[in-house]
Structure 1
C-alpha cells in the first residue's frame, strides 16, 4: 500500500495558509493556451476554468481551416467528456473561452492583426502546450512545430504588455542520453547551430540525421531540447518555466477519473497487452517505465505559473514518478494480469508478457506468440465467409510497440526536487485542489481507474 504524505499538517502548511491562493493569482487575468485541442491541452483549459472562477478570459489557439464555422469547432472541442462537470455546474464560464485562429508553423502564428492586438493587450499567462508528438516524424517537420513554433510564441510573448510568465511544456526525454536527469537546462548550443545549418539543405540524409540526434531516440526529443535552449537564451525579462512530463497517461481523478482520448504512446501499448494482442516487449522487465497521469501535469503547470518569481534563470520542473513512485515493466504487466483475472476473462493460459533485451528473441517470440495466431485466426475468418482483420491489427500493434522500444529498453531517474518544494508553498486547500506531486499516487487504485478509462473512453467507441 502507498500512503499519502499530503494529509500531514506541517510547519510549511501553516506558513502556506498565509500566501496567495492559486485561484487568486489567476483572478482578473487572461491566459493564452496553445495545443488546446490535444489531450493535455483540454485538461489545462478545463482545470483553469473550473478551479479559477474569477479568471477573465482564456484565449485558445485554433488551427485556421477555411470554411469551418467558429461555433462548430468550439462545440466539437467542448463535446469531449472532459468538460462534462464544467458544462453541468458552471456552463456560463464556457463563455470565457476566446478562440483565435492561427497556425503554429507560421510566422506570428498566422494570427490576424486584430487577434495579435488582443493577446498583446490582455494576456498575462501563456501555456505553450502545442507540439508535434509523432515519434516517427522527420527532423524537418518536428523542428517546424516544436522549435520554430515555440520561437514564434516566445516572440509574441515579448510584445505582451501584461506578461507575467511563459510556461513551456517540454518532455522529460529531451536529454535522454543521460540516465539521471535533473531539473536544469542542459546546453545544446553546438547542436542547435548544426541542425539549423543542416535544415537549409534541400534534402535530409538519414545517416546525417542520426548523427545529429546524438544518441536521442527521435527528432521529437531533439527538437524539444533545442526549443528549450532557444527559450532559455532569448526570454529576456520574461519569467520562464519548463514543465517536463514523462509518459503522460489518463487522468487520475480530474476532471473525469481515467479520462483518455486517444490510442497514443503507452496507452496504445498497454491496451494491446490488456487485450492480448501484444505479448512481447523489448526490454528488461526490471526497467522503470515512467508514467504520469495527465492531471498531475496540468496541476503542476498551473501551480508553477502562479508561484513564479522574476528571475533571469529558467525554472524547471520534472513531472515524473521514477524518483517518487517508480513502477517497473514487470509490475505493470502484473497489473494487467490482475485486471484480466478480476474481470474473469476466459483464456486457456494465464495472460503473460514476455520480455527480452535481445532483438532476435523479440522477433521470434513475436512471430510465434502474435503473428502466427493472428494468421490462423484470419484463415478461419476467411473460410467462414468473414473479412480477415487480425493480421492488420498485428501490423498496427507491432509498429506501435516498436516506436516505444527505446523507452521500454532503457530506464531513467528523473529528479523532482523543485516539484516537491513547490508543493510546500501551497495551502491545505490548494493541495487538495491541485495535486501536483505524485507521492500520493496509489498505483493499484490508479491502474483500475486507468483500465476502466480505456474501456469507457476508447474501446466503447
Structure 2
C-alpha cells in the first residue's frame, strides 16, 4: 500500500477492504481485478473460480495474471498480486459450490462484493441460464446477508435486460415470472419440456441472457433492501479506451467479433438499421462499477431501507455514434494496420433490406462454401466450410436484435454520480462519456484488435501491409475476371441463346 498517497474519497472508502469478485476470468472481471489492485488500497481480493481437472488453483491464477491487462501492473507494483486468493466454486452450482470452510471465510472476511459472473451466451438453454444467472445470484445474496461488515455489493447486469421496452429508465421493472418460480421450474422439469416453456417465457426478449438478467434484478430489489446494493447496466461493451492499456479486448462475442469477421474477410454481408449504436468502453464500465459501489455504500443506512440503486451505462445520450460511422471507421482503421494472418481480402457490404441480405448471404457465403467443400472433396480433404458458414449465420442472427433496434437509456443516476465525485476521483475513475473522442478511440481499437485478438504484434506491420496489398490485387483481378465472364455469358445469352429460343417458339407456333 506504499504507493497510495493522498487518498481520494473513493480510495478511502475501499481502504483495507477484502473484496470478493465473481467472473474474474472473464473480460470485464479481469479488468475489475486489475483496476482494484492498481487503484484501490484494498487488503485482499478473493476470486471465485471454477475447478478444472488437472489444473491447480495456482495455475488458474497464473493464467489470469498472464493476460496483457496485467502487464503494466506487474512492472510497476508486482507485490500487489500477492493480495489475490482463490475460492473454488461455481455460480451454476447450489450454494456457489463453496466448501464449508470457504463459506466461513466469506462471512467473516468479505467487505465488498462485486458480482460479475454470468453465462453471456445468447443461445444458452433456459435451464443453464437460470441456474447461473438467477440461482447463483440468489445464493450469493443469502451469503451476503450473513456478512458481518458488508460495505457495498455491486451487481453487473446489462442495459438490455428490459429490452422489451424502447425507453429504459434507471429502475427495476416488473418481471413476467418470479425468480423463485423459474428456479423451481428449471430444477424440476425435463430440459426438453423446458425448451417449449422457455420459448414462451422469453418472448419479447432477444435471448435467455437478457431475460434471466431482468428476473435477477427483481430478485435483488426484493432481497437487498437491508443491504448496500447497486446495479450497473452497461450497453454494448467494447475494448478499453485508456486503461490498463488502450484498445485491450479478449472477447470476440461482441462488436469485436463482428470486426474480426469483417477484417479477416470471412463475413461479406451485414444486415442492420441506420441507428445509433450504444457502445461503452470496458474501462469506463469498470470505473463506474467501483464509483457506484462507493456511492451506494457511503450513503446506505440499514435503518432506512429502499430500492437498489440502478445505473445505466450508456453513450447514446452523452456521446452518440451512428452504426454506419462505427462500421466505416472500423473498416478504415483496420485497413491501416492489416495483419499477415488475414486469409482473404476483406470486403463487406451493408444492407437495411432483409431480402437483399438473404440473397447476398446465399451468394457470398453459402454458395462459396459449397464450392470450396466440393473442391475439398475432390482433393480428398474433409469438407468443413458449409458448417462454418452455418455457424457464422447463427452468430449474426444472435446479434441482429442489437444492430436493428435503437433504445433510449436514461442516465440521470450516472450524471448525479459524476457530479458527486471529486476532481481527483474523476481523474482516477473516469466514466464520463463526453471525454471520449471516438476518432482517437477507433485508432487504438484497431491496433488493439490486431495485437490482442489476432495475436499479431505491431512489429509485423510492414509484412502485414505487403500481404494485404497482394490480397487486394488478387481480389480485384478475380472481380475483373468475373465481370468479363459475366459479360461474355451475357452476350451469348442475349445474341445467341435468347434468339434461338424465340426462333424455336415461332417455329412451334407456325407448326400449330
State which of 29, 36, 53 in structure 1 corresponds to 2:17: 29
- Which of 41, 44, 49 does residue 62 from structure 1 map onto? 49
* 1:355 matched to 2:351: yes
Give the match's secondary structure for 1:404.
helix
2:89 is aligned with 1:102: yes
Partner residue of 1:405 out of 400, 408, 414: 400
1:122 aligns with 2:116: no
Question: In 2 relative to 1, CA 338–329 (structure 1 residues): closer, same or farther, beyond 3 Å?
Answer: same
User: How far is 1:349 from its partner?
Assistant: 9.8
Q: For the Cα contact (< 8 Å) 2:27–2:250, is it kept in 1?
A: yes
Partner in structure 2 of residue 14 of structure 1 = none
TM-score after normalising by structure 1: 0.89
Q: 1:209 — aligned with what?
A: 198
CA contact (8 A) 1:300 1:437 kept: no
Q: Say whether residues 1:320 and 2:314 are aligned partners.
A: yes
1:299 counterpart = 2:293: no
Contact map agreement 2:112 2:152 (CA 8 A) in 1: yes
1:79 is aligned to 2:76: no
Work out whether 1:372 is the aligned partner of 2:359. Answer: no
Name the CA distance, whole Å, in 1 between partners of 2:260 and 2:363.
20
Partners in 2 of 1:94 and 1:195 — Cα distance?
Answer: 40
SS of the counterpart of 2:174?
A: coil
What is the alpha-carbon distance in structure 1 between the residues aligned to residue 263 and residue 174 of structure 2? 40
How much has 1:301 moved relative to structure 2? 0.3
Could you tell me how far 1:288 is from its partner in structure 2? 2.2
- Is the CA contact 1:31–1:124 (under 8 Å) kept in the aligned structure 2? yes
- Which stretch shows the higher mean deviation, 363-372 or 241-250? 363-372
Deviation at 1:125, TM superposition (A): 0.9
Q: Structure 1 pair 373/340, CA: closer, same or farther in 2 (3 Å)? A: farther
Aligned partners of 2:337 and 2:450 also within 8 Å: no
Aligned-partner Cα distance in 2 for 1:357–1:375: 25
Assess if the C-alpha contact under 8 Å between 2:232 and 2:313 holds in 1: yes
Change in CA separation of 1:378 and 1:328 when aligned onto 2, cut-off 3 Å: farther
Deviations 1:428-459 (A, max 9, x none): 22212111121212111111211211111111
Which of 271, 275, 279 is matched with 1:282 structurally? 271
Q: 1:378 to 1:442 in 2, by over 3 A?
A: farther
Specify whether residues 164 and 357 from structure 1 end up closer, same or farther in structure 2 by C-alpha distance, changes over 3 A only: farther
In structure 2, C-alpha distance between the alignment counterparts of 1:384 and 1:446, rounded to whole Å? 45
Name the stretch that deviates more: 435-444 or 134-143. Answer: 435-444
Tell me how far 1:365 sits from its aligned partner.
1.1
Task: Provide the C-alpha distance between the structure 2 equivalents of 1:61 and 1:207, rounded to a whole number of angstroms.
Answer: 33
Structure-2 separation of matches of 1:109 and 1:458: 31
1:375 Cα deviation from its structure 2 partner: 4.4
CA distance in 2, matches of 1:350, 1:63: 39
Compute the displacement of 1:49 (Å): 0.3
Deviates most, 189-198 or 298-307: 189-198
Q: Is the 8 A contact 2:337 2:446 kept in 1?
A: no
Match of 2:149 among 157, 162, 173: 162
Relative to structure 1, the CA distance from residue 189 to residue 340 in structure 2 (aligned partners, 3 Å threshold; closer, same or farther) is: closer
The alpha carbon displacement at 1:105 in A equals 1.9
Task: Give structure 2 stretches of 5+ with no counterpart.
Answer: 1-5, 457-512
Deviation at 1:73, TM superposition (A): 1.4
Mapped partners of 1:343, 1:138: distance in 2: 39
Rate the CA distance shift 1:31–1:438 in 2: closer, same or farther, 3 A: same
Query: Normalising by structure 2, what TM-score?
Result: 0.80
- Structure with the higher helix share, 1 or 2: 2
8 Å Cα contact 1:318-1:419 kept in structure 2? yes
Aligned residues: 441
CA distance in 2, matches of 1:343, 1:110: 45
**2:129 and 2:82 mapped to 1: Cα distance?**
34
Q: Is the 8 A contact 1:288 1:326 kept in 2?
A: yes
In structure 2, C-alpha distance between the alignment counterparts of 1:118 and 1:194, rounded to whole Å: 31
Query: Could you say which residue in structure 2 is the equivalent of 1:230?
Result: 219
Shift of 1:246: 1.1
Structure 1, unpaired ranges of 5+:
1-17
